[in-house]
């Protein structure tokens, strides 16, 4: 027998739980030549007998979440993987896939712990693990997490072919096998509140409506920092609260503010605002991404940091920008020399990025969220880190020139909506956007400051609030409706509400 199979047998014998057995089989299939025999066409090879395993194994899988896997399941995998059993590589691989799918199917609804069969010790242990940021189980260089509920996927509605071996579990490489930026996992107890419709309405608050409200500081070594001016903070805070008031009437599930438009006093104002509304039973969003700002961390290093606030006004997590922005000469010239230098030189954002991490937060059984600040949204290390997690929502604060058709924020968002199929919410401030008259096209008013790309595909209708005398909207509501082929998937209709 092959050394590969002998190693597989030893690992199976040592598996302490059925979830560890699952990971051992998954790794064996992914790293052996068997997967190559069926990759890309395995679905058409599954037989009715293969799929019947889902019903046959269900109760035994659930009963062995915390104990040794049942002998008949272990035996099935050992036989399927045995190169001397007389089966073709294709038949071996299909049997292994069928077994993995049977275990995966037995854990349907595990994410929301709504299945009555998963109760008692197993339910408590899984919840405890996830709440502490640990996986459901792990083996060697793979970890197992619940996958966001199938209600978030609906692959036939995406407009592209979706090829997923698993429906209810996410297998995440760890250790040396992990790619990209390190990840920290957070889990919230699934909430009944708008669990499915939370993405129907999304609020965006540009905060800064004029470049005069922002101060650029030149620093040594061709670096720079950005902050809102002290003299503008009072007016910005009042306008921000007014914008939130306008949005709360429209009940968005999520609100996102842009990059480099915040400070501690504005973060505190948002937290108090949400907490006060929550205490008196008024509508509150599931979360608000406060505008990022250049914060000082515990090591006295500057970080481009965004605070994420939950529906009770408390901090859910903080996300630091993982990749510093290099402000190229051509880009500075295109937005009017924000540093006032002559000659213009390339400058880099003066932030520390190490140690770095991306927080992945399961807000409920459907929304697996991450915040990617501007540059992080287009750099490969971020995507490498997030790809195995089956993300459903990326929240993206940026500070950019006006978002135009085909520009990087738009192309990136729509590309990710297509594959791997993740919704993105991008919001810009007016820091680098020239004044625009309300007489301009209605679509232009929304498009230069925001993009929402839904997956499954969605049409986006905008309602825009412009304070009297302002050149830009101070609040925008994106309302998503199901995509139909006869309609555009972009910004279709915008209603403007003047003060």
| Residue 68 token pair | 């040794």
Indicate the DSSP class of residue 202.
E
DSSP H/E element including 460 = strand 458-466
**Signed CA dihedral, 263, 475, 452, 276: sign only:** positive
pLDDT computed for residue 234 by the predictor: 96
Instruction: Give the neighbor-by-neighbor strand order of the sheet with 326-327.
Output: 214-219, 223-228, 347-349, 326-327
pLDDT computed for residue 459 by the predictor: 84
- In this structure, the answer to whether residues 164 and 213 fall within a common structural domain is no
pLDDT in tens, the chain (499 residues): 578 899 999 999 999 999 999 999 999 988 888 877 776 666 667 777 777 788 889 889 988 888 899 999 999 999 999 998 888 888 898 899 999 989 988 887 666 544 444 555 677 788 788 888 999 999 999 999 988 875 444 444 433 334 467 888 899 999 888 889 999 999 875 444 444 456 789 999 999 999 999 999 999 999 999 999 999 999 999 999 999 999 999 999 999 999 999 999 999 999 999 999 999 999 999 999 999 999 999 899 999 999 999 999 999 999 999 999 999 999 999 999 999 998 999 999 999 999 999 999 998 777 899 999 999 999 999 999 999 998 989 999 999 999 988 999 999 998 888 777 789 999 999 999 987 766 666 667 788 899 998 877 788 889 999 888 888 899 999 998 877 754 444 433 434 444 3
Task: State which residues form the domain around 440.
Answer: 201-498
Question: What secondary structure does DSSP assign to 5-39, as a single string?
Answer: HHHHHHHHHH--SHHHHHHHHHHHHHHSTHHHHHT
Tell whether 193 is covered by a domain: no
3-class DSSP assignment, residue 313: coil
Tell whether 466 is covered by a domain: yes
Q: What is the CA radius of gyration of the chain?
A: 25
Residue with tokens 């190169």: 83
- In this structure, the answer to whether residues 407 and 375 fall within a common structural domain is yes
Query: b/e per residue, 156-168, with b = 16+ CB within 10 A?
Result: eebbeeeeebbeb
Whether the CB-CB separation of 332 and 338 falls below 8 Å is answered with yes
Tell whether 233 is covered by a domain: yes
Tell whether 160 is covered by a domain: yes
pLDDT computed for residue 33 by the predictor: 80
- In this structure, the answer to whether residues 154 and 239 fall within a common structural domain is no
Tell whether 446 is covered by a domain: yes
- In this structure, the answer to whether residues 115 and 165 fall within a common structural domain is yes
- In 380-457, DSSP assigns E strands to 393-398, 423-428, 450-453
pLDDT computed for residue 364 by the predictor: 79
pLDDT computed for residue 198 by the predictor: 60
- In this structure, the answer to whether residues 235 and 149 fall within a common structural domain is no
3-state DSSP helix/strand/coil % of the chain, to nearest 5: 35, 25, 40
Give CA 52 to chain center in angstroms: 34
Vertex 361 angle, CA 355 and 367, to 5°: 145
- In this structure, the answer to whether residues 153 and 223 fall within a common structural domain is no
Give the end of a domain, one of 127, 147, 178. Answer: 178
What's the domain count of the chain? Answer: 2
Vertex 279 angle, CA 266 and 236, to 5°: 20
pLDDT computed for residue 252 by the predictor: 95
- In this structure, the answer to whether residues 365 and 255 fall within a common structural domain is yes
Tell whether 195 is covered by a domain: no
pLDDT computed for residue 491 by the predictor: 39
Alpha-carbon distance 393 to 283, whole Å? 22
Tell whether 383 is covered by a domain: yes
pTM for this structure? 0.91
- In this structure, the answer to whether residues 112 and 53 fall within a common structural domain is yes
Tell whether 189 is covered by a domain: no
Contacts of 239 (CB under 8 A, 6+ apart): 207, 209, 467, 474
- In this structure, the answer to whether residues 245 and 335 fall within a common structural domain is yes
What number of other Cβ atoms are within 10 A of residue 487's Cβ? 11
Q: Which has the closest alpha carbon to 167: 411, 1, 346, 390? A: 390
pLDDT computed for residue 495 by the predictor: 42
- In this structure, the answer to whether residues 214 and 120 fall within a common structural domain is no
- In this structure, the answer to whether residues 245 and 363 fall within a common structural domain is yes
- In this structure, the answer to whether residues 168 and 285 fall within a common structural domain is no
Alpha-carbon distance 487 to 185, whole Å? 37
Q: Which has the closest alpha carbon to 419: 449, 390, 450, 448? A: 390
Residue 376's CATH number: 3.60.110.10
């Amino acid at each position: 027998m092959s050394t590969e199979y002998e190693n597989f047998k030893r690992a199976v014998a040592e598996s302490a739980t059925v979830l560890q057995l699952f990971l051992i089989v998954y790794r064996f299939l992914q790293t052996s030549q068997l997967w190559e025999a069926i990759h890309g066409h395995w679905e058409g090879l599954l037989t009715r007998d293969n799929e019947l395993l889902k019903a046959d194994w269900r109760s035994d899988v659930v009963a062995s979440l915390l104990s040794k896997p049942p002998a008949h399941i272990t035996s099935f995998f050992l036989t399927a993987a045995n190169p001397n059993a007389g089966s073709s590589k294709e038949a071996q691989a299909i049997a292994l896939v069928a077994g993995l799918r049977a275990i995966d199917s037995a854990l349907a609804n595990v994410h929301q712990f709504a299945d009555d069969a998963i109760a008692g010790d197993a339910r408590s242990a899984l919840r405890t693990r996830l709440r502490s940021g640990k996986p459901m189980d792990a083996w060697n260089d793979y970890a197992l997490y619940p996958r966001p509920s199938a209600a978030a996927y609906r692959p036939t509605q995406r407009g592209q072919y979706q090829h997923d071996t698993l429906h209810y579990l996410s297998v995440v490489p760890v250790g040396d096998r992990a790619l990209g930026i390190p990840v920290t996992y957070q889990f919230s107890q699934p909430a009944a509140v708008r669990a499915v419709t939370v993405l129907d309405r999304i609020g965006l608050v540009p905060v800064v409506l004029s470049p005069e409200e922002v101060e650029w500081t030149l620093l040594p070594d061709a670096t720079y920092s950005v902050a809102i001016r002290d003299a503008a903070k009072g007016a910005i805070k009042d306008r921000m609260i007014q914008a939130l008031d306008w949005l709360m009437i429209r009940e968005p599930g999520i609100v996102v503010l842009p990059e480099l438009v915040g400070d501690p006093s504005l973060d505190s104002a948002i937290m108090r605002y949400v907490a006060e509304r929550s205490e008196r039973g008024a509508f509150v969003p599931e979360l608000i991404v406060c505008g990022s700002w250049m914060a000082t961390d515990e090591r006295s290093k500057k970080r481009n940091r965004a605070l994420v606030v939950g529906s009770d006004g408390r901090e859910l997590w903080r996300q630091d920008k993982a990749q510093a922005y290099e402000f190229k000469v051509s880009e500075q010239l295109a937005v009017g020399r924000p540093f006032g230098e002559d000659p213009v030189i390339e400058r880099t954002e003066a932030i520390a990025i190490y140690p770095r991490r991306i927080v992945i937060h399961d807000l409920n059984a459907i929304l697996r969220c991450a915040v990617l600040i501007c540059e992080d949204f287009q750099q490969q290390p971020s995507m490498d880190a997030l790809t195995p997690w089956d993300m459903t929502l990326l929240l993206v604060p940026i500070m950019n020139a006006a978002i135009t058709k085909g520009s990087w924020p738009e192309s990136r968002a729509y590309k990710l909506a297509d594959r791997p199929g993740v919704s993105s919410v991008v919001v810009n401030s007016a820091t680098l956007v020239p004044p625009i008259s309300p007489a301009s096209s209605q679509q232009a008013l929304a498009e230069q400051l925001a993009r929402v790309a839904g997956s499954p595909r969605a049409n986006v209708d905008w309602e825009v609030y412009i304070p009297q005398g302002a050149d830009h909207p101070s609040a925008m509501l994106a309302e998503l409706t199901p995509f139909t082929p006869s309609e555009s998937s972009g910004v279709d209709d915008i209603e403007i509400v003047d003060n």
